[in-house]
Each structure stands twice: as C-alpha cells, then as structure tokens.
Amino acid sequence: MAKVRYLQLDVFAARPGGGNPLGVVIDADHWPTDAMQRFAAWTNLVETTFLLPPGPSGADYRLRIFTPTREIAFAGHPTIGSAHAALATGLVRAGGGRLVQDCGAGLLPILVEGVGEAQRLFVQAPGAQVLRQGLDGDPQLQALLGDRRLGRLAPAFVEGGRRWWLAELADAQEVRGWHPNHAAIAALAHASDSLGLCVFARCQGGDHDLVVRAFPAGVGIVEDPASGAANGLIAAYIAHCEPEGPLGRGYVVSQGREIGHDALIEIRIDGDGVWVGGQTQLVIEGHAEWPLATA
C-alpha cells in the first residue's frame, strides 16, 4: 500500500459546494499509470490529478489528469484546482504572480492574483481552432438542436486542448430549461471524437454575462457543473467571431445551477489569448492509502 497526501477541492466556487469537485494526489511520483487510473476510477470525480516534480521542462510542476476512465491532456478546473493545491501545500511559490504547469497540452502559464479567500487563479487556455461551423456541421447536431431557438452565433465544432460542439441558444431560459437527449449527445461525441456538447446564452444584469451548460457524454458524464476547458473554447469562438463585441475582452460565466451548483468562471481575452479562472476552495486535506498493483 502506498501512502500519499490527498486533497479535495471545489473549483470555480466562492464557497464550498458551489463549484466542481477535484481530487489532487501529491507524493505519487513512483505510482505506475494503472494505479493512477484505478484511483481516479475509485474517487469517481469528474477528474483526479497527480502533482509531480517538473523534470527538465523548467515548469513549476508537472500534472497528470485522469477522468474515471482515461487520462486526458488538459482540462480547466483540474488545472486551476491543482495549482491552488500546489500553492496551499507549499510545493511551489508564485514568483512574480505566475506559475508554469507542464501537462499533456504543453507548458501553460497560470496567473496568481490576491491572497487568502480572495485569491484567484487564471490559466491561459490552449489555442483553439474552428473545425466546422453551422447547424449543418453534423446531422446529429441538427437533430439535437432541432427544437431549440438559436442565438446569434452559428453552432461550431471547436478544438483546443479538448474538442467540443458549441451552440449559442437564444436566451438563458432556453439554456437553463433544456432537457437534452443525453444518448444523442453521446452518439455525437463518439462519432466526432469529442467530449460532447456545450450550450450557452448571453445574459444581462446580475453577476454574470453568460450562462453555460456542458454535457461531456463522450467521457460518460451527464453534465459538468463547471468546465474550464469548455468555457475557454466558447471564449475563443466568441473572440473569433466578435472581436470587437461586448464580450470580446472578457466576461463572467454562470454554470451548474441546473444540477445544484453555483459556479462562477471568469474569462479574460487579451493579446495572448484566452484566460480562464476564478476562486477555489480547499475542502479536504489528508492522506490516502492505495495498492500500487492489483491482486
């Protein structure tokens, strides 16, 4: 049995219970990949990460990210939460208010702003490209959205660290009140080698500018309460289509209320690209014991 430090955090949350849970394992440098995968399957969280020494990359640390079924190159909430864990446990210090994470998507800069409860972290999302655009981009997408009132931007298939189908709906009510066909989303995801479908709508007033729902059926998850990578792709798509529009420099996202959460995700868009961030709450800190080999 291997004993390691284990933390559980709530990412993109102003209070515990509002955001997206994340498990973070420290001191697992010697774990084989299959032990990491088995542990991630056992936690049954959307993602579990492993904080590792940086190696020769020059980064502050290296990160491996696992869903319950497979390892992935990048995801937003695991990146933000793991950086928070690295700082909270003293593994790293943010010189000049910056960190560099080494992960499957490459070396990613992270901004550290504020201290204590006011601390916010922002990761620069991987560059994105639009692969397909329009409701006719895939017949399955057209069938999924056939009864929805759409927004001003055409649906799109976008890649950047992850692959997502994106669709702007007419208003927040269209997004929040939708009961999608999850089996159809899974079929679309598997046919296009993507995570699934994100829908979003613009809002006015309140504490957010966009409402988002993400359905990553491609990895067996019905709905994600707070998705950094998906929101990074939405931001990149908005910036691509409307660089001078009201959202072209950044905005605040509300996600997760439909499933009992209340995440707020902050988006910044500048000459360097898209930055995704927000607050993280440390909820559990302790140790875990795990067998490195199956019996």
Mean pLDDT by 10 residues, the chain (295 residues): 95 94 96 97 96 93 94 94 97 95 94 91 95 93 92 96 95 96 96 96 92 94 94 97 96 97 97 96 97 86
Please state the domain count of the chain: 2
Same domain, 98 and 166: no
Do residues 160 and 224 both lie within one domain? Answer: yes
In the chain, beta strands by DSSP E: 2-11, 20-26, 48-52, 61-66, 71-72, 98-103, 106-113, 120-124, 129-133, 156-160, 162-168, 196-202, 210-215, 250-255, 263-270, 273-278, 280-290
Q: Which domain holds residue 256?
A: 129-276
Distance, CA of 140 to CA of 137 (rounded, Å): 9
pTM, to two decimals: 0.94
Q: What does the pLDDT read at residue 137?
A: 87
Residues 160, 96 share a domain = no
Read off the tokens for 74.
């990048």
Is there a single domain that holds both residue 114 and residue 146? no
Reduce the DSSP state of residue 126 to 3 states and report it: coil
Confidence at residue 111, expressed as pLDDT on a 0 to 100 scale = 97
Query: What pLDDT sits at residue 294?
Result: 82
Q: Which residues pair with 198 in a beta bridge?
A: 166, 214
